Amino acid sequence: MSEGKKYVYGFEEGDGQNKMLLGGKGANLCEMTQIGLNVPPGFTITTEACLTYLDNPDRELPAGVMDQVREQMRNVEANTGKTFGGSENPLLVSVRSGSAMSMPGMMDTILNLGLNATTLKGVIAQTGNERFAYDSYRRFVQLFGKVALGVPDEAFDAEFEDVKKKAGVKQDLGLSARDLHEIADRFLDVVERETGRSFPDDPMEQLEIAVKAVFNSWMGKRAVDYRREFKITPDMANGTAVNVQTMVFGNMGNDSATGVGFTRDAGTGENVMYGEYLTNAQGEDVVAGIRTPKPVAMLADEMPEQYKGLVALRNKLESHYREVQDYEYTIEKGRLFCLQTRNGKMNATALVRTSVEMVREGLINKEQALLRIQPEMLEQLLFPQLDPSVTATPMARGLPASPGAAIGHAVFDADRAEVLGRGGQRVILVREETKPEDIHGFFASQGILTSRGGKTSHAAVVARGMGKPCVAGAEGIHVDVQMRKAFVGGATISEGDLITIDGTSGDVYLGEVAMKEAEFSAELDTLLGWADEFAQLEVMANADTPDDAARAVEFGAKGIGLCRTERMFNAVERLPLVVEMILAENTGDRQAALDKLLPIQRGDFKGMLKAMAGKPVTVRLLDPPIHEFLPSEHQLEEELEQLVHLRETVAGMNVLSDAVEFMYRTADTHPSVDRLADPRLVDEAIEKKETMLRKVRALSEVNPMLGHRGVRLGITFPEIYSMQIRAVLEAAAECTREGLDVYPEIMVPQVCTKQELLAVKRIVDSVKQAVETHYGVEVNFKFGSMLEVARACMRAESMAEVAEFFSFGTNDLTQATFSFSREDAENKFLPLYNEAGILQDNPFEVLDVKGVGKIMELAVGWGRTTRAGMKMGICGEHGGHPASIGFCHRIGLTYVSCSGPRVPVARLAAAHAALTDDTAHAGAQSV
């Protein structure tokens, strides 16, 4: 039916851009041929032929394919002066697979196809090298037998060893032409024995079998597994092409060689010749590692002419492809041939450097420089990494909860971490799980390791916020805090032992593994500067302390998009004040506690505003339910029990002390018994704990996430929000008086209705007046709302009457949209949902564009109906995720906010979003 279809393209006619049809290797062979590089002649059979063949239940090649192959073969013969199957000057070919995506899962390349008894004679006559001929032949029979006919290597190996033994040689190189001849004969027998058919002698038949084998390998287990693993879908690569190419020989003597090269240094990106070669060797030998290859610089001495040719080849490849190339070449008797090229895979360092340098060299423009780097890749540069050249075996594995690697001495509680950390030691805090009261331990540690909890556990979230590496939920580790030890399989980590954690992979190592420091290079800075030129979205950072804020500026943040004030409550010297505030039985007592917190918060805000002078700082008023600041009910009950026991012990000891005194009062010397603590102290402690327990019980909620938190707390305890608002505005007033340019923004969390916003606005207005009067300066600030409740999104039009800006809290909004909580989802059913294909991704990691995104898009439109060009952003974790950033760009958000160390990733992603947006969003420009 598809009789007239063209299935086979000569290298001089195939479309070098059409990788889907010709495969990457085939398209590039065509392209290189057409730009005049010295490519051994050949042709490509299309992926279309492959798919049609695989569809045919009889496994026949589509009609016309072999005819077209024969026709192309005649061309090649004409080009080379050789004859396929000829006895004088025989044409030998390689058969190489290649799909649109580079895929090591497919068939191995067959070299020297076309050899048989007749052509062999020709090769011997031509080269005068019988040994070379038989060696090539026996290699071909084995390779063809294995990859095209499925004969196991062992069958060949047995014969090979047998001949070697008979000949009395140890090394393959010791085998004579006669030995190799015998091996080839035996191999032919092996094939016949194993397949029940004699080895195909006819070169055209060999070729047809090989082509079918390549096509079949597309559906082979290796290839199918590979595509699944790397999520290669049919629209990325569909079917494999086959490349049939004239053999050239790098193993024809010392004027021959074979090598692989990179047009720049693959590790550093430096613009130098880079690669390795072997003299007198054939293709695979370089990669196979049988002989140690030599650095390409040596070729300059060994074969100066050819080296010059290689430099020219490299320059031509780069100036044509305008991308770093990874290429293969062979020198046959002094003639240089290019066998393959493809875009080079590089690490982030090399990608960044080559991007910047290629722009400076005029090879590419800034847009291309930005687009050739996947934003996620930058992570490698922003955190310390384990040295990739070092191989160490992890002792345990957990979840990669916060990227980067860290080395330190294991400690099992936060206090100890703080003491040692302050003393200048590198420590890693190892816990079963962490709690807010462990926070001081985080500050002192290089990294955190927990044996329980997921990527959203306290440890993970806090560590990410601080940019510290964290491995969470390493369940293979049993932590015993009492013994100050952790047990892993048979091994033990004792306090003080050095361990290394890799928060990028989740691996944990005993001892010290070599690391590479983060490198925010001048080139990265340049590149991100270009990114900012193109991006429409501004990138802000989430930061809770002045230090975090300062670091965010270094990463290029345009402001703070989210400052979580509750994080500021968590420091050691503050927690007691917060507890006092919570335990207060009346407004007066609460106010007293708040009065002590006010200067502390004001100081924090001032620090943040100063660090960010000239840029906005968005402060979110207290969000979590307040019982989160108290110990758990269970813990309090246990402590109370211990105190009650202690009360009896103390009383008992005091009785004993009195009694001893009395019994020995007449003696000259007498034993004395120490009086323990004053029992009243114990009573006092008991009373305090009981009050706390009562409060914890009173505050306990059935559904804390949906309970008394956020603005609801601010309305029931207005004095709390009032204090925070005052702290922000006073900090701003003081900065203004110092001549600083500050832009505070007050943001209200968990809002459902405009009325809630109005209630807080009233507090804001009255505090503003008081502060301005007191300081005698005008305070400029914005008042806005989080959008993280479905209702608020639906009422965006009315909310925008009060709010001057919106910030989508997509963590809560995702929970609200799906009506399931992140913790329960991730621990219980989400993995199954993903596996069963019910949900494609984890919506807490990848923004659910269709659902949550739809709500956002609607809210953006409605909000801007009321307030044209209204400032809107996202501050959930999704704000640092490149795909989500693309979406935020498309719906016209003003900014994204993410954790400080992710800011560079987000800046590049924002540029990508703008550069790949062909609709050039009207909404975004009207802002």
Binding residues for ligand ADP restricted to 22-41, rule: CB under 6 A? 40
The H-or-E segment that residue 127 falls in is helix 117-127
- For Mg ion, the closer CB: 564 or 864: 564
Within 8 A by CB and 6+ apart from 771, the residues are 726, 729, 730, 733, 779
Instruction: Report, in this order, helix, strand and coil percent for the chain, each rounded to 5.
Output: 50, 15, 35
**Binding flag, residue 341, ligand ADP (CB under 6 A):** no
Selection from 604, 615, 616 nearest residue 734 by Cα: 604
Residues paired with residue 138 on neighbouring β-strands, in sequence order = none
For ligand ADP, which residue of 20, 214, 248, 381 counts as binding (CB under 6 A)? 248
**283 interface partner picked from ligand ADP, Mg ion, none, CB below 5 to 8 A per type:** ligand ADP
Q: Of 243-251, 417-425, 726-734, 807-815, which segment contacts ligand ADP by CB under 6 A?
A: 243-251
User: In the complex, what is the shortest distance from the CB of residue 300 to ligand ADP, in angstroms, rounded to a whole number?
Assistant: 21
Within 8 A by CB and 6+ apart from 365, the residues are 359
For ligand ADP, which residue of 24, 275, 283, 559 counts as binding (CB under 6 A)? 283
- For ligand ADP, the closer CB: 100 or 499: 100
- For Mg ion, the closer CB: 545 or 807: 807
Other residues' Cβ atoms within 10 Å of the Cβ of residue 687: 11
Single-letter code of the amino acid located at 832: L
Q: Is 875 in the active site?
A: yes
Tokens of residue 121, six digits: 């004679």
Give CA separation, 323 vs 106, 346, 557, 564, 585, in Å: 25, 11, 30, 44, 69
User: In the complex, what is the shortest distance from the CB of residue 249 to Mg ion, in angstroms, rounded to a whole number?
Assistant: 16
Sheet with 477-480, side-by-side order of all strands: 477-480, 485-488, 491-494
Within 8 A by CB and 6+ apart from 825, the residues are 818, 844
**Binding flag, residue 379, ligand ADP (CB under 6 A):** no
**Binding flag, residue 256, Mg ion (CB under 5 A):** no
Selection from 466, 473, 486 nearest residue 401 by Cα: 473
Binding-residue pattern over the window 101 to 130 for ligand ADP, x denoting contact by CB under 6 A: --------x-x-------------------
Binding-residue pattern over the window 284 to 313 for ligand ADP, x denoting contact by CB under 6 A: x-----------------------------
For ligand ADP, which residue of 47, 136, 340, 785 counts as binding (CB under 6 A)? 340
Other residues' Cβ atoms within 10 Å of the Cβ of residue 33: 21
User: In the complex, what is the shortest distance from the CB of residue 286 to ligand ADP, in angstroms, rounded to a whole number?
Assistant: 7
Q: Which is catalytic among the residues 409, 458, 889, 912?
A: 458
The residue assigned the tokens 């004679």 is 121
**Binding flag, residue 561, Mg ion (CB under 5 A):** no
**Binding flag, residue 96, ligand ADP (CB under 6 A):** yes
Give CA separation, 397 vs 389, 501, 513, 559, 830, in Å: 20, 9, 15, 36, 21
- Beta strand extents in 90-219 (DSSP E only): 90-91, 93-98, 110-113
Specify the 3-state DSSP secondary structure of 148: helix
**Binding flag, residue 245, ligand ADP (CB under 6 A):** yes
What own/partner pairs with CB < 8 Å and gap ≥ 24 does 160-169 have? 162/186
**Binding flag, residue 247, ligand ADP (CB under 6 A):** yes
The residue assigned the tokens 């290629």 is 358
- For Mg ion, the closer CB: 223 or 636: 223
**Binding flag, residue 415, ligand ADP (CB under 6 A):** no
Selection from 568, 541, 572 nearest residue 622 by Cα: 568
**247 interface partner picked from ligand ADP, Mg ion, none, CB below 5 to 8 A per type:** ligand ADP
Q: Which is catalytic among the residues 875, 881, 889, 898?
A: 875
- For ligand ADP, the closer CB: 256 or 810: 256
- For Mg ion, the closer CB: 7 or 806: 806
Binding-residue pattern over the window 652 to 671 for ligand ADP, x denoting contact by CB under 6 A: --------------------
Segments in 700-795 forming alpha helices (H): 710-716, 718-737, 754-775, 790-794
Binding residues for Mg ion restricted to 319-358, rule: CB under 5 A? 340
**812 interface partner picked from ligand ADP, Mg ion, none, CB below 5 to 8 A per type:** Mg ion
DSSP state of 95: E
**Binding flag, residue 789, ligand ADP (CB under 6 A):** no
**730 interface partner picked from Mg ion, ligand ADP, none, CB below 5 to 8 A per type:** none
Selection from 619, 379, 674 nearest residue 516 by Cα: 379
Sheet with 110-113, side-by-side order of all strands: 8-10, 42-45, 241-246, 93-98, 110-113
For Mg ion, which residue of 200, 784, 809, 900 counts as binding (CB under 5 A)? 809
**190 interface partner picked from Mg ion, ligand ADP, none, CB below 5 to 8 A per type:** none
The whole-angstrom distance between residue 304's C-alpha and the CA centroid of its chain comes to 43
**Binding flag, residue 135, ligand ADP (CB under 6 A):** no
**40 interface partner picked from ligand ADP, Mg ion, none, CB below 5 to 8 A per type:** ligand ADP
For ligand ADP, which residue of 188, 336, 339, 557 counts as binding (CB under 6 A)? 339
Specify the 3-state DSSP secondary structure of 442: helix
Q: How many residues bind ligand ADP, per CB under 6 A? A: 15
Q: Is 320 in the active site?
A: no
- For ligand ADP, the closer CB: 94 or 504: 94
Buried b (16+ CB within 10 A) or exposed e, 838-867: ebeebbbeebbbeebbebbbebbebbbeeb
**809 interface partner picked from ligand ADP, Mg ion, none, CB below 5 to 8 A per type:** Mg ion
Within 8 A by CB and 6+ apart from 408, the residues are 425, 426, 427, 428, 445, 446, 447, 498, 499
- For ligand ADP, the closer CB: 328 or 538: 328
**179 interface partner picked from ligand ADP, Mg ion, none, CB below 5 to 8 A per type:** none
For ligand ADP, which residue of 94, 256, 451, 536 counts as binding (CB under 6 A)? 94
**Binding flag, residue 240, ligand ADP (CB under 6 A):** no
Q: Of 309-317, 386-394, 784-792, 856-864, which segment contacts Mg ion by CB under 5 A?
A: 784-792
Point out which residues bind ligand ADP (CB under 6 A): 40, 94, 96, 109, 111, 245-248, 283-284, 328, 330, 339-340
Q: Which residues are catalytic?
A: 458, 875
Point out which residues bind Mg ion (CB under 5 A): 340, 788, 809, 812
